[in-house]
């Protein structure tokens, strides 16, 4: 009993002294009087946040002093949003990410075959934190010289595996798989790749096989559940909303069942009924003689026109992007509102201002439509899906992610500050590059990249999100 009392007194003394140090210290920056929300601890209260050296040093109910003080009273102070699925990795999309509250944007679905070169090209040049997977599709293309429409030889599979292993050794946080785009990749090939993923303790982010190839979304998910069971690898099923379609609820139940039996399978979704991809992708190989109503589901991003069979065949020869309207609000809502699902944009880059609205408005849409409008998500639950959950998905292999997605002393000062009463997406299918509204300030590693809803010119505090590099 004596030891317990002494320990309690020591703990109380430590907290008192820590509070005194916080109160007497001058920080580089203080965010004053905002509604601080931290999904990890459940904190939801007015606090001052003290930041120095790019790190949160204090979260205090009392007044903190700083060299710079930003009055954020009446605004929500949240962890910066973490997007695990962002194809657009260029200056324009980084700007739109930041204006949507994103502080870390990673391309984990398709990835790269040159991990070292990809990171080197962005070092010291980005508004937000950045990262990529080592990608099975680009490696497979480099090895086979094929776009994914022919089966690889045993020798080619061995070389693909060697390069995938090398990319993980070079610090790629995950491996990326686009099975809808490499339909000839055999199940044995994918199984072997996931054995490599498992050896590295990584996650394999996967765009599952497409129903256009003659299977079904349920069968595609069954394949990935089998892969996880046989190899022991972790699996992230990307955009469950656009791969499951009318089977969304049933496939979420399948993932729940797999998790209940010890398999590490998770998923993500974006809040739009339409997807976007290349018209020359393999998943359109069977679209030769569809009913005219099916072609009308495709919008040519360059002109905004809906396609016919004639224009589909014309544009398929030249190449370009289409927006694909194949889902319903009901199925998208089921995915977004499910407790298991993280939020990820699947954002693409822009070509002459054309693209998909999810690249600019994904996160503000969650806050404006699902939290404030429908009230189908609480604000804290929405923030968990956009911050803590994606951070935890990577932190086993990327230790630095343990200090992201949180508002607490010691965490990286990646912070998004927004007006919960006005935040909303403004991007549309016709004007996809319109920035979100209501995101007032965004900090990346303690540096403002958005101040008073405007990009801070010249800011480039983004850092690589990368696993430890291994030597042989």
Residue 104 has pLDDT above 50, yes or no: yes
Pick from 206, 335, 354, 339: which is nearest to 272 by CA?
335
Whether 133 and 167 share a structural domain: yes
Query: Across residues 435-451, what is the average pLDDT?
Result: 98
Give the whole-angstrom CA distance, residue 162 versus residue 167.
9
Whether residue 418 is contained in a domain is answered as: no
Give the whole-angstrom CA distance, residue 342 versus residue 322.
25
Residue 410 has pLDDT above 60, yes or no: yes
Residue 74 has pLDDT above 60, yes or no: yes
With contact defined as beta carbons under 8 Å apart, do 284 and 275 qualify? no
Residue 471 has pLDDT above 80, yes or no: no
Query: Across residues 325-335, what is the average pLDDT?
Result: 95
Whether 185 and 287 share a structural domain: no
Whether residue 245 is contained in a domain is answered as: yes
45-54, 153-162, 212-221, 413-422: range with lowest mean pLDDT? 212-221
Whether 228 and 348 share a structural domain: yes
Whether residue 446 is contained in a domain is answered as: no
Residue 278 has pLDDT above 70, yes or no: yes
> Domain range holding 317?
274-326
Query: Per the structure block, which two tokens stand in for 448?
Result: 């403002």
Give the whole-angstrom CA distance, residue 301 versus residue 276.
9
Whether residue 472 is contained in a domain is answered as: no
Pick from 113, 176, 177, 179: which is nearest to 149 by CA?
179
**286 band by pLDDT with thresholds 50, 70 and 90:** confident
pLDDT of residue 10: 47
pLDDT of residue 251: 97
Whether 139 and 255 share a structural domain: yes
Parallel, antiparallel or unpaired: strands 274-278 and 321-325: antiparallel
Whether 127 and 240 share a structural domain: yes
Whether residue 232 is contained in a domain is answered as: yes
Whether 172 and 61 share a structural domain: no
Query: Across residues 417-440, what is the average pLDDT?
Result: 96
Neighbours of 211 (CB within 10 A): 19
pLDDT of residue 18: 44
Whether residue 415 is contained in a domain is answered as: no
Whether residue 287 is contained in a domain is answered as: yes
Q: What is the CATH number of the domain that holds 56?
A: 2.30.40.10
Taking phi over 0 as left and psi of -120 to 50 as alpha, with beta for the rest, 377 belongs to: beta
pLDDT of residue 349: 86
Whether 169 and 183 share a structural domain: yes
Whether residue 220 is contained in a domain is answered as: yes
Whether 29 and 60 share a structural domain: yes
Whether 105 and 228 share a structural domain: yes
pLDDT of residue 353: 75
Last residue of a domain, one of 282, 303, 326: 326
Kindly list the distances between the CA atom of residue 65 and the CA atoms of 12, 28, 33, 44, 406, in Å, as whole numbers in the listed order: 24, 9, 12, 21, 22
Whether 25 and 155 share a structural domain: no
Residue 237 has pLDDT above 70, yes or no: yes
> pTM to 2 decimals?
0.93
Counting the structural domains of the chain, the total is 3
Burial string for 276-288 (b: 16+ CB within 10 Å, else e) reads bbebbbbbbeebe
Whether 318 and 428 share a structural domain: no
Residue 59 has pLDDT above 90, yes or no: yes
Question: 360-408: per-residue pLDDT in tens?
Answer: 999 999 999 999 999 999 999 999 999 999 999 999 999 999 999 999 9
Q: What is the CATH number of the domain that holds 169?
A: 3.20.20.140
Last residue of a domain, one of 21, 52, 74: 74
Query: Across residues 112-131, what is the average pLDDT?
Result: 97
Question: 6-26: per-residue pLDDT in tens?
Answer: 444 444 444 433 444 455 799
Question: 196-209: per-residue pLDDT in tens?
Answer: 999 999 999 999 99
Whether 135 and 183 share a structural domain: yes
Residue 277 has pLDDT above 80, yes or no: yes
pLDDT of residue 213: 55
């Amino acid at each position: 009993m004596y030891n317990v009392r002494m320990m309690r007194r020591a703990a109380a003394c430590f907290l008192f002294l820590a509070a005194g140090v916080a109160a007497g210290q001058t920080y580089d920056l203080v965010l004053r009087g905002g509604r601080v929300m931290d999904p990890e601890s459940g904190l939801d209260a007015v606090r001052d946040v003290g930041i120095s050296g790019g790190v949160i040093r204090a979260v205090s109910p009392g007044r903190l002093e700083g060299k710079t003080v930003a009055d954020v009273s009446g605004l929500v102070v949240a962890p910066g949003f973490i997007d695990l699925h962002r194809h657009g990795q260029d200056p324009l999309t980084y700007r739109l990410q930041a204006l949507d509250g994103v502080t870390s944007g990673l391309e984990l679905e398709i990835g790269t075959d040159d991990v070292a070169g990809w990171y080197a090209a962005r070092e010291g040049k980005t508004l937000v934190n950045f990262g990529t997977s080592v990608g099975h599709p680009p490696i497979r293309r480099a090895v086979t010289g094929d776009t994914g429409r022919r089966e690889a030889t045993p020798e080619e599979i061995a070389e693909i595996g060697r390069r995938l292993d090398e990319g993980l050794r070079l610090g790629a946080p995950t491996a990326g798989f686009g099975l809808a785009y490499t339909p000839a990749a055999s199940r044995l090939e994918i199984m072997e790749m996931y054995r490599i993923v498992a050896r590295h303790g990584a996650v394999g982010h996967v765009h599952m096989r497409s129903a256009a190839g003659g299977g079904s979304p349920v069968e595609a998910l069954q394949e990935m559940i089998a892969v996880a069971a046989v190899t022991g690898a972790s699996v992230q099923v990307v955009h469950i909303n656009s791969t499951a379609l009318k089977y969304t609820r049933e496939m979420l139940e399948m993932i729940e069942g797999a998790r209940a039996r010890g398999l590490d399978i998770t998923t993500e979704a974006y809040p739009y009924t339409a997807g976007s991809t290349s018209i020359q992708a393999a998943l359109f190989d069977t679209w030769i003689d569809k009913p005219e109503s099916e072609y009308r589901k495709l919008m040519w991003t360059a002109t905004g026109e809906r396609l016919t069979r004639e224009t589909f065949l014309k544009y398929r020869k030249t190449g370009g992007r289409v927006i694909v309207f194949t889902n319903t609000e009901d199925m998208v809502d089921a995915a977004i509102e499910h407790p298991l699902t993280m939020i990820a944009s699947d954002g693409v880059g822009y070509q002459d201002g054309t693209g998909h609205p999810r690249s600019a408005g994904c996160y503000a849409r969650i806050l404006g439509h699902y939290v404030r409008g429908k009230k189908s998500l609480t604000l804290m639950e929405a923030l968990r899906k956009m911050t803590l959950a994606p951070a935890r998905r990577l932190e086993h292999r990327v230790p630095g992610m343990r200090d992201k997605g949180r508002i607490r002393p010691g965490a990286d000062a990646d912070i998004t500050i927004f007006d919960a009463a006005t935040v909303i997406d403004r991007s549309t299918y016709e004007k996809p590059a319109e920035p979100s509204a209501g995101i007032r300030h965004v900090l990346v590693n303690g540096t403002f990249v958005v101040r008073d809803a405007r990009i801070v010119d010249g800011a480039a505090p983004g850092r690589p999100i990368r696993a430890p590099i291994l030597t042989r």
